[in-house]
């Protein structure tokens, strides 16, 4: 029996019930997934008893790692006294107070159940507020599965290279063409494309949705000029800015927009604010968030949701976020700085064709000599994709789960020796690649 025989058997069983054997496309399988028995802080233990350092942390959700005691304690009592009600609870007020106190762009909040749903309602809110149908978004960025948010995510070069940026093609086959007509693409960090595109269609655009450090598109820093141009152009044409911080809220106590000088009208959150339970949030300026209010004679946007603001997600989120003090953010960031600097030092020492992007507790390794500044720079050729797959396998051999093609992240459960493990694994990988003549 192999060291992963139970996982392999579970995958055969799963193939009979799920299309392709998994419950979501984003499950890593090489050639079959690792089925989890339990999590323990920074580590995962699989059904075969193997232990892995988890740099995925449920797609960056678990900022404290697995089984964080304050979350478990906050939730255990609730489980016996009812997990969801049609009535509100005090828990939702407490989490909303925490968020509105910390995050400048969140004057008012609404809770939903996922990042996808948060993005959907933020876009609907922008449409309701402006009375305009279309949106603009960054090429290659991921904003969840809402039709208008997903179009433009899976862009790839054609036979003759990259097309000029314009209207977004939906990634999912069969999406109505009317959706694509209402999604305009912008290139990240490209001031010219931003101004030209928004000028051309300004009177139809309700909002620009932007992740301040788009992870799937490359996890690169926003350039100050770009943030400035975005703010000015949006203001000039009455276009709202939605900062999608579902992932990047973990960049600091006040979130990512505050960190990079962006003042969005609306902001979406998810992942870390639920402490490991399903959650999404739409926040924003009081005036804009008013579209959700049914106190007005005719509400512009009546948002519901059976599980929205359920007490379990609220209490878990509050416990997780309360533990994320400014000191905790600083500590995570210092670990992230050490990790990114160490990776970059290996690359420089070995003169390898790699680069590193990211900030705070997030990082991404690129098989590119020059760090990408936008999606097209980060796009992997077939050869680069297979190099990344080799790298993931190398990490897996050393019991480290390194997400492939998205952001990897640290948690407060990690310690210096975990960082050293990652640095050694990467340096060994570069060494092996160079010795085999592949790099």
Interface residue list for ligand PMP (CB under 6 A): 59, 114-116, 119, 142-144, 211, 215, 244, 246-247, 270
What tokens appear for 2 in the block?
Answer: 């192999």
Residues 392 and 365 sit within 8 Å (Cβ to Cβ): no
**CB nearer to ligand PMP: pick between 59 and 429:** 59
Relative to beta strand 400-401, strand 408-409 is: unpaired
Q: Say how far apart CA 371 and CA 378 lie, in whole Å.
A: 8
Q: Residue with the closest Cβ to ligand PMP?
A: 115
Please report how close the Cβ of residue 19 comes to ligand PMP at its closest, in angstroms.
Answer: 19
**CB nearer to ligand PMP: pick between 213 and 425:** 213
**CB nearer to ligand PMP: pick between 215 and 412:** 215
Q: Say how far apart CA 195 and CA 185 lie, in whole Å.
A: 12
Please report how close the Cβ of residue 217 comes to ligand PMP at its closest, in angstroms.
Answer: 10
**CB nearer to ligand PMP: pick between 182 and 245:** 245
Element (DSSP H or E) covering residue 112 = strand 108-112
What tokens appear for 23 in the block?
Answer: 């419950």
Residues 238 and 245 sit within 8 Å (Cβ to Cβ): no
**CB nearer to ligand PMP: pick between 247 and 352:** 247
Residue partners of 73: CB distance under 8 A and separation at least 6: 319
Strand partners, 134: 205
Q: What is the CA radius of gyration of the chain?
A: 22
**CB nearer to ligand PMP: pick between 26 and 381:** 26
How is residue 164 annotated by DSSP? P
Residue partners of 3: CB distance under 8 A and separation at least 6: 48, 50
Phi and psi angles of residue 421, each rounded to the nearest 5 degrees, phi first: -60, -45
Please report how close the Cβ of residue 168 comes to ligand PMP at its closest, in angstroms.
Answer: 16
How is residue 290 annotated by DSSP? G
**CB nearer to ligand PMP: pick between 129 and 142:** 142
**CB nearer to ligand PMP: pick between 218 and 270:** 270
What tokens appear for 337 in the block?
Answer: 């700085």
Please report how close the Cβ of residue 98 comes to ligand PMP at its closest, in angstroms.
Answer: 19
Say whether the peptide bond before residue 31 is cis (omega within 30 degrees of 0).
yes
What tokens appear for 85 in the block?
Answer: 């009600």
**CB nearer to ligand PMP: pick between 387 and 409:** 409
Please report how close the Cβ of residue 246 comes to ligand PMP at its closest, in angstroms.
Answer: 4
Please report how close the Cβ of residue 359 comes to ligand PMP at its closest, in angstroms.
Answer: 15
CA 271 distance to own-chain centroid: 8
What are the distances in angstroms from CA 415 to CA 46, 331, 334, 394? 21, 10, 11, 22
Please report how close the Cβ of residue 63 comes to ligand PMP at its closest, in angstroms.
Answer: 14
Please report how close the Cβ of residue 1 comes to ligand PMP at its closest, in angstroms.
Answer: 35
Please report how close the Cβ of residue 276 comes to ligand PMP at its closest, in angstroms.
Answer: 12
**CB nearer to ligand PMP: pick between 169 and 215:** 215
Please report how close the Cβ of residue 220 comes to ligand PMP at its closest, in angstroms.
Answer: 14
What are the distances in angstroms from CA 418 to CA 50, 304, 422, 427? 16, 42, 7, 14
3-class secondary structure, 60? helix
What tokens appear for 71 in the block?
Answer: 């979350």
């Amino acid at each position: 029996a192999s060291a992963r025989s139970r996982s392999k058997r579970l995958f055969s069983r799963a193939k009979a019930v799920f299309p392709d054997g998994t419950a979501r496309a984003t499950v890593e399988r090489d050639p079959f997934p690792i089925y989890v028995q339990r999590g323990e802080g920074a580590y995962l233990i699989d059904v075969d008893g193997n232990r892995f350092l988890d740099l995925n942390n449920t797609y960056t959700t678990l900022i404290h790692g697995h089984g964080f005691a304050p979350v478990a304690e906050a939730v255990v009592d609730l489980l016996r006294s009812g997990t969801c009600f049609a009535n509100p609870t005090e828990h939702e007020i407490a989490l909303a107070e925490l968020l509105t106190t910390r995050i400048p762009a969140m004057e008012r909040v609404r809770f939903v159940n996922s990042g996808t749903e948060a993005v959907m309602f933020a876009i609907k809110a922008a449409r309701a507020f402006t009375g305009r149908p279309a949106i603009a978004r960054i090429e290659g960025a991921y904003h969840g599965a809402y039709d208008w948010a997903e179009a433009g995510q899976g862009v790839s070069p054609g036979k003759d290279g990259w097309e000029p940026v314009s209207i977004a093609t939906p990634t999912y086959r069969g999406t109505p063409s009317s959706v694509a007509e209402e999604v305009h693409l912008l290139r990240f960090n490209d001031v010219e494309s931003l101004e030209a595109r928004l000028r051309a269609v300004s009177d139809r655009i309700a909002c620009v949705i932007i992740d301040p450090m788009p992870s799937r598109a490359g996890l690169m820093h926003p350039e100050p000029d770009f943030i400035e141009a975005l703010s000015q152009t949006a203001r000039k044409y009455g276009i709202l800015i939605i900062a999608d911080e579902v992932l990047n809220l973990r960049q600091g106590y006040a979130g990512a927009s505050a960190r990079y000088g962006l003042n969005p009208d609306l902001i979406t959150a998810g992942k870390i604010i639920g402490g490991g339970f399903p959650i999404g949030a739409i926040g924003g300026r009081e005036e804009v968030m008013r579209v959700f209010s049914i106190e007005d004679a005719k509400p512009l946007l009546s948002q519901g949701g059976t599980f929205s603001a359920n007490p379990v997600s609220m209490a878990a989120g509050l416990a997780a976020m309360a533990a994320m003090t400014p000191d905790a953010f600083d500590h995570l960031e210092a670990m992230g700085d050490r990790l990114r600097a160490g990776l970059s030092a290996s690359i420089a020492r070995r003169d390898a064709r790699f680069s590193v992007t990211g900030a705070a507790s997030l990082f991404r390794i690129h098989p590119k000599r020059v760090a990408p500044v936008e999606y097209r720079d980060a796009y992997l050729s077939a050869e680069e994709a297979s190099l990344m797959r080799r790298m993931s396998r190398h990490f897996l051999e050393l019991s480290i789960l390194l997400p492939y093609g998205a952001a990897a992240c640290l948690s407060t459960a990690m310690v210096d020796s975990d960082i050293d493990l990652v640095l050694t694994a990467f340096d060994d990988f570069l060494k092996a690649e160079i010795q085999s003549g592949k790099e």
